[in-house]
Amino acid sequence: MRFFAGKSSTSKGKPKRGDAPDPAPLQFDLDRWLDICGIILLALAALTLFGFLSTQRSPILSGWLEIVGRLFGWGVYLAPAVLAALGVYLLVRRFGDRFPRFRPKRLGGAVLAYLTALATLHGLTMIAANDIDGAAIAAASKGGGELGWLILSALIGLLGNIGAGFVVVMAWIAAVMLIAGVSLPQLFQAMRQAVTSPRHDRAATDVARVPGAPTDDIIEPDYGRGGGLIIRGLRPRSAPAKRHREAQVAPSAAPSPSEAELPPARTINEVPRSAEPLKINTPASRGQVNRVPPPRIIGAPDVPPGRSATSAVEPLRQSPSAPPPAAPAVTVSSIYPVRRNWVLPKIDEVLEPGSDAAMKEAEIRQRAALIEDTLRAFGVPARVVEVNRGPTITQFGVEPGFNEMKGGKQVKVKVSRIAALADDLALALAAPRIRIEAPIPGRALVGIEVPNGETSLVALRDVMESEEFEVLRRKTRLPLALGQDVSGRPVVADLTSMPHLLIAGTTGSGKSVCVNAIIVALLCANSPEDLRFLMIDPKRVELTGYNGIPHLIAPVVVDLEKTTAVLQWVTREMDRRYRLFAKHGARNIAEFNAKVAPHSSPPTSVLDQSGVGNRASPPDDELRKLPYIVVVIDELADLMMMAPDETEKIICRLAQMARATGIHLILATQRPSVDVVTGLIKANFPARIAFTVATSVDSRVILDGPGAEKLLGRGDMLVVTPEQSMPMRAQGCFLGPVEIERVVRHWRAQLGDAAPASAPHVPEQAATDLPVEPAPAADLFGAPPTWEEARALNEAAREVNAGSKDDKLFNEAVATVRLQGKASISLLQRRLRIGYTRAARLIEEMEERGIVGPAVPGQQYREVLNSPLSGTDEP
């Protein structure tokens, strides 16, 4: 029994496997030391002030005044104010909005000004007393005291008298710049205004309001105990609109985007140390990003000096009573539009601004403390060191702490332990969903993303008016405005570098709104001479509203049986462009357009009395500038259901080769399953956007990892780009149907059509007769026929075959479908090597004779019936 008792006592002393280590004891951290230093500084300031005012001083008080008097000299009278300011700053940094806040650089500027004043005072005292012995003056508690003499003697010993004087002057200028928060040119401008203006007192108060000075001082930074905040003040929304109207009245006075000083980028700061405060980053001010140049006029004549570009088109709006000039309607479109003076739409006229939700700092502080307490309760010590507040979610940057094991050894907390507590954190914060990014890419933090109580509306206009979008717009032809990230910074992308985009999300997640925002952003940035669209909309309601704009090569394709022919035409256009590039020694569309630009001449068109445009012989087809072509497919799942093999083959070929020719694909689907987004398609689309999906399996299909199933919906998305493989969370842009209609109406109005705004300018029949046969041999470069040429060829073939009811390939077609046991148009195209129109006519004839059944919606093939053939021989 004694043996077993000893063994039992020994086993109790060993820690069991799986037991959670004891949480780290409460440490007397640097924040409490700073609080104690603040109290001590306030006590010294009060003691010094009391000594100055008291007539009866104790030996201790007299000794203290003698020490500070000898140390600061005549500057001792300012010592109580300096000590009190430092003490107050160390104490009130943690009280939030109840006390005013101080910027650290202004406090540093005040300290620099005080030390410079001591050195200046000591030097002036030496000059006035004709005494070169500065040490004797300091010993007598005069001048700048020992501290002023120490600074001055060091400068004189290193630089001499003249150098020391120059450094003192520069120190004064630097101190004023730090206190006022202005740059050196702004300071000189303010000094010049103060000298030249008759109102010196008013000019002196305007130093901090010099144009270009920082304007985010409405709410000063605050450094707190493990949760101090840096919050930038938000401007009212009416301010940017007013500045934009003023820029339209006097466009010549407004600085160009290249000359204007760009605001500092909203980059995430480095990870703060344990002694540094928590940072809260809020969305950028609307006023700081509203710098939009006047709309560009493509192909317009030179404007006389002193007249703005917008005034050249102003008479068109100022005379509504005068009848517009009679312009014949162009009813046929091609990839080479007739040159016009295209005017890009003004963003502030066609798009609506967003809205900002109220910022509640107390709620952010409470959530940060609750996250720390919850993690500590589960034995995971951590500290919230950074907060990024976005339009929809708030990301709390958590720094893992250390667990103190028995024996005094400290072990770092595993990131996986924090990620495993997502459900517990959601319960503690009463949040619907919480996503944990462990770790944040490129940071030593774990991101805990919590939904906001009040969300902000991210409008497309807000992103397009940002500096990031304007800079990207000057670099590329295809800028995309996607939304705002978790810290409120605009998320923009370049479609030419993607070079194709895959979008997936369930119904109601914001997928269609994202597609429309991308299209409208491209329409607002490009004329029809630079960009053309091919749109495929099986649902018939998402993209058909764009019918009638000059950017469309053909009306929006809504019939799935025509999509294969459309994609085949795109592949032939890609091959034609590569042949042109090879002939002219260009590697991509940018080099080709740069080479043919000096030789390019405007295309001509002959318009008959009926208003139908007929192609005249252009000067040289191959020397025309090639526009970019963006193919938009709204629902990929329907295409893969109808013809999976052909659709996958064509899409993969275009995705692999079409980038250099200026052809880009944008695919959207609400069912990201493996049979829709196949491995080949996903491998050729490195840029992807995932909205809310049903399961983690769907998220892995689109993103190669989980996460999309935890999104909030209504525009909440994860973005993956070729430059950034890890998903980045963002809130997509919102775009209403009224804004889309304004953009479409703007482009339709420039065509001068007599048809109503809802009628497309391209006949619907033009898209039904698609080019499916090889290009004519007379074409030197194998150029695919335009839509009107393809229509004429198909009509001629139809007239030739109109006389005979039976096709000579009818019997062979019947034998083929009987042998395969199924019938479809694509099957006959592959087996008999015929075009789409002929195969469709054979299928219709077989249906009339009872050989095949009718088409069933949602099924690719028709049923082959067993009825006897009428009028034909059995195969």
Asked whether the predicted pLDDT for residue 301 surpasses 70, the reply is: no
Q: How confident is the model at residue 212 (pLDDT cuts 50, 70, 90)?
A: very low
pLDDT tens for 758-793 read 333 333 333 334 433 333 333 333 444 544 455 555
Asked whether the predicted pLDDT for residue 222 surpasses 80, the reply is: no
Q: How confident is the model at residue 179 (pLDDT cuts 50, 70, 90)?
A: confident
Counting other chains too, the contacts that 253-256 makes at CB distance below 8 Å and 24 or more residues apart are 256/293
Asked whether the predicted pLDDT for residue 183 surpasses 70, the reply is: yes
Task: Tell me the pLDDT of the chain averaged across its residues.
Answer: 73
Would you put residue 707 in left (φ > 0), alpha (ψ -120 to 50) or beta? left
Measured distance CA(709)–CA(732) in Å, rounded: 16
Asked whether the predicted pLDDT for residue 396 surpasses 90, the reply is: yes
Q: How confident is the model at residue 512 (pLDDT cuts 50, 70, 90)?
A: very high
pLDDT: is 6 or 563 the higher one?
563
Least confident of 494-508, 585-599, 618-632, 704-718: 618-632
Say if strands 663-669 and 501-504 run parallel, antiparallel, or are unpaired.
Answer: parallel
Q: How confident is the model at residue 76 (pLDDT cuts 50, 70, 90)?
A: confident
User: Mean pLDDT throughout 609-616?
Assistant: 37
Measured distance CA(688)–CA(839) in Å, rounded: 36
Question: Among candidates 49, 852, 736, which has minimal Cα distance to 352?
Answer: 736
**Is residue 852 helix, strand or coil?**
strand
CB–CB of 73/143 below 8 Å?
yes
Name the percent of the chain lying above pLDDT 90.
24
**Phi/psi at 355 (5° precision):** -140, 150
**Is residue 64 helix, strand or coil?**
helix
Least confident of 63-67, 517-521, 838-842: 63-67
What tokens were used for 830? 């592959």
Predicted local confidence at residue 131, as pLDDT: 65
Asked whether the predicted pLDDT for residue 38 surpasses 60, the reply is: yes
Give the chain's largest Cα–Cα span.
132
Predicted local confidence at residue 141, as pLDDT: 72
Asked whether the predicted pLDDT for residue 258 surpasses 90, the reply is: no
pLDDT tens for 535-556 read 999 888 889 999 989 999 999 9
Contacts of 355 (CB under 8 A, 6+ apart): 237, 456, 457
Q: How confident is the model at residue 106 (pLDDT cuts 50, 70, 90)?
A: confident
Asked whether the predicted pLDDT for residue 5 surpasses 50, the reply is: no
Q: How confident is the model at residue 643 (pLDDT cuts 50, 70, 90)?
A: confident
Asked whether the predicted pLDDT for residue 726 surpasses 70, the reply is: yes
Asked whether the predicted pLDDT for residue 95 surpasses 70, the reply is: no
Q: How confident is the model at residue 794 (pLDDT cuts 50, 70, 90)?
A: low
Q: How confident is the model at residue 323 (pLDDT cuts 50, 70, 90)?
A: very low
Per residue, the 3-state secondary structure of 184-198, as one string, reads HHHHHHHHHHHHHCC
Q: How confident is the model at residue 280 (pLDDT cuts 50, 70, 90)?
A: low
Question: Among candidates 471, 644, 620, which has minimal Cα distance to 564?
Answer: 644
Predicted local confidence at residue 569, as pLDDT: 92
- Total residues belonging to the chain: 875
pLDDT: is 423 or 752 the higher one?
423
Predicted local confidence at residue 167, as pLDDT: 86
The listed range with the strongest mean pLDDT (531-535, 609-613, 792-796) is 531-535
Asked whether the predicted pLDDT for residue 279 surpasses 80, the reply is: no
AA identity, residue 369: A
**Is residue 445 helix, strand or coil?**
coil
Asked whether the predicted pLDDT for residue 226 surpasses 70, the reply is: no
Predicted local confidence at residue 641, as pLDDT: 86
Predicted local confidence at residue 481, as pLDDT: 93
Q: What is the Rg, in whole angstroms, of the alpha carbon atoms belonging to the chain? A: 37
Asked whether the predicted pLDDT for residue 274 surpasses 60, the reply is: no
Distances from the Cα of 222 to the Cα of 339, 382, 741, angstroms: 58, 22, 46
User: Mean pLDDT throughout 456-476?
Assistant: 91
| Domains of the chain with bracketed CATH | 30-209 (no CATH), 226-234+272-292+357-455 (3.30.980.40), 499-584+627-766 (3.40.50.300), 804-875 (1.10.10.10)
pLDDT tens for 734-743 read 999 999 999 9
Least confident of 110-124, 294-308, 400-414, 728-742: 294-308
Predicted local confidence at residue 411, as pLDDT: 86
Predicted local confidence at residue 277, as pLDDT: 52
User: Mean pLDDT throughout 662-673?
Assistant: 93
Distances from the Cα of 313 to the Cα of 309, 316, 528, angstroms: 8, 6, 18
Measured distance CA(498)–CA(479) in Å, rounded: 11
Predicted local confidence at residue 522, as pLDDT: 94
User: Mean pLDDT throughout 709-732?
Assistant: 89
Please identify which residue in the block is written with the tokens 């401007």: 235
Question: Among candidates 481, 514, 278, which has minimal Cα distance to 385?
Answer: 278
Would you put residue 226 in left (φ > 0), alpha (ψ -120 to 50) or beta? left
User: Mean pLDDT throughout 382-403?
Assistant: 89
Contacts of 812 (CB under 8 A, 6+ apart): 832, 875
Predicted local confidence at residue 718, as pLDDT: 94
Contacts of 792 (CB under 8 A, 6+ apart): none
CB–CB of 603/624 below 8 Å?
yes
Distances from the Cα of 609 to the Cα of 327, 752, 792, angstroms: 11, 16, 20
User: Mean pLDDT throughout 681-693?
Assistant: 92
Measured distance CA(768)–CA(795) in Å, rounded: 11
Asked whether the predicted pLDDT for residue 172 surpasses 90, the reply is: no
The listed range with the strongest mean pLDDT (90-104, 113-127, 267-281, 295-309) is 113-127
Predicted local confidence at residue 334, as pLDDT: 52
Measured distance CA(272)–CA(31) in Å, rounded: 14
Asked whether the predicted pLDDT for residue 867 surpasses 60, the reply is: no
Measured distance CA(373)–CA(740) in Å, rounded: 48
Please identify which residue in the block is written with the tokens 């008792």: 5
Measured distance CA(696)–CA(708) in Å, rounded: 7
Asked whether the predicted pLDDT for residue 144 surpasses 90, the reply is: no
User: Mean pLDDT throughout 382-387?
Assistant: 90
**Phi/psi at 197 (5° precision):** -75, 140
Distances from the Cα of 628 to the Cα of 290, 522, 603, angstroms: 28, 11, 17
